Amino acid sequence: MHILVTGGAGFIGANLVRRLLQEGHRVTVLDNLETGSHGNLAGLEGALAFLEGDVTRPPSFPEKFDRIYHLACPASPPQYQKDPVRTLTTNVVGTLAMLDLAAASGARFLQASTSEIYGDPLESPQKESYWGHVNPVGPRSCYDEGKRAAETAVMDHGRTRGTDARVVRIFNTYGPFMDPADGRVVSNFIVQALKGEPLTIYGDGSQTRSFQYIDDLVEGMIRMMENEAGFAGPVNLGNPEEFSVRELAAEVLRLIPESKSALEEHPLPLDDPKRRLPDISIAKEKLDWEPRINLASGLQMTIPYFRKAIHGT
């Protein structure tokens, strides 16, 4: 198939593109390189078509696509808060533009949504039926509400225009090709431990997260795209094992035994969720999917990537 991946030079995109190429598909990447990089696609130059461009003002494509994976949007708080209006525009205008492209191409469409649509949840684990507890006017709203609006666009496109569009809600994911400076907790802790710097704990570190290795996520995304039952979702893709931020810090330090890093507490950011844990019952039922890689194993596969990125070895 001919597959378009928007945001394909980012962390998730780079891993997805590699998997799609391994399966023998033709892949086109559209990325404005705001948070992605050519380095994430190094070695693939002859295997894919790369277009530098913005989903809010997409270029003309000479060919139609069979599938569109829509990943384009800054995903970590420091990145999406740099220009919140642009983040909101990317989520809403960009998603609508890509849905229109899917409709014109007759392509199947997958929207990369997020667990952030649940906000600071009042129930845990979070089920897809939970409508969320989101601040619409806070510093994270450009992303949280932008992704919620994007889900609306996907579902309305399907209902009114017949577009075959599906939604996955992605929970915390980590692995190779993460930006060492992206500001998310796994990359922060690994980089700080490798540099011997204090590990930054926000609040008292009791807030919990679920951590999913990238290969598990990519498998779930492909299963959602290729399910022939017409199941549109939304569906949670995440690891249902719950860890506090302090527990994650301890595991990172255990796996980097040379590190002498201590823990350093900082004030908790506004609207930072206290718990983030997916209910994946629907993914199990509809996609026969659940994560296979536990936190320790995933970190062991991730740390060498960061070690090379920082120290070159």
Which residues have a catalytic role annotated? 143
Among candidate residues 140, 252, 141, the one with its CA nearest the CA of residue 205: 252
CA distances from 32 to 2, 29, 54, 68, 230 (A): 20, 10, 5, 17, 31
- φ/ψ region of 312 (left if φ > 0, alpha if ψ in -120 to 50, else beta) reads left
What is the rounded distance in angstroms from the CA atom of residue 306 to the CA atom of residue 240?
25
Give CA 292 to chain center in angstroms.
18
How far is residue 173's CA from residue 168's CA, in Å, rounded to a whole number?
13
Contact 237, 213 (CB under 8 A): no
- Cβ atoms 53, 98 nearer than 8 A: no
Q: Give, as one character, the DSSP assignment of residue 40.
A: G
- In whole angstroms, give the CA distance from residue 258 to residue 303: 13
- Per the rule left: phi > 0, alpha: psi between -120 and 50, beta: everything else, 65 is beta
Which residues are CB-contacts of 260 (< 8 A; sequence separation ≥ 6)? 196
Tokens of 239: 């690891």
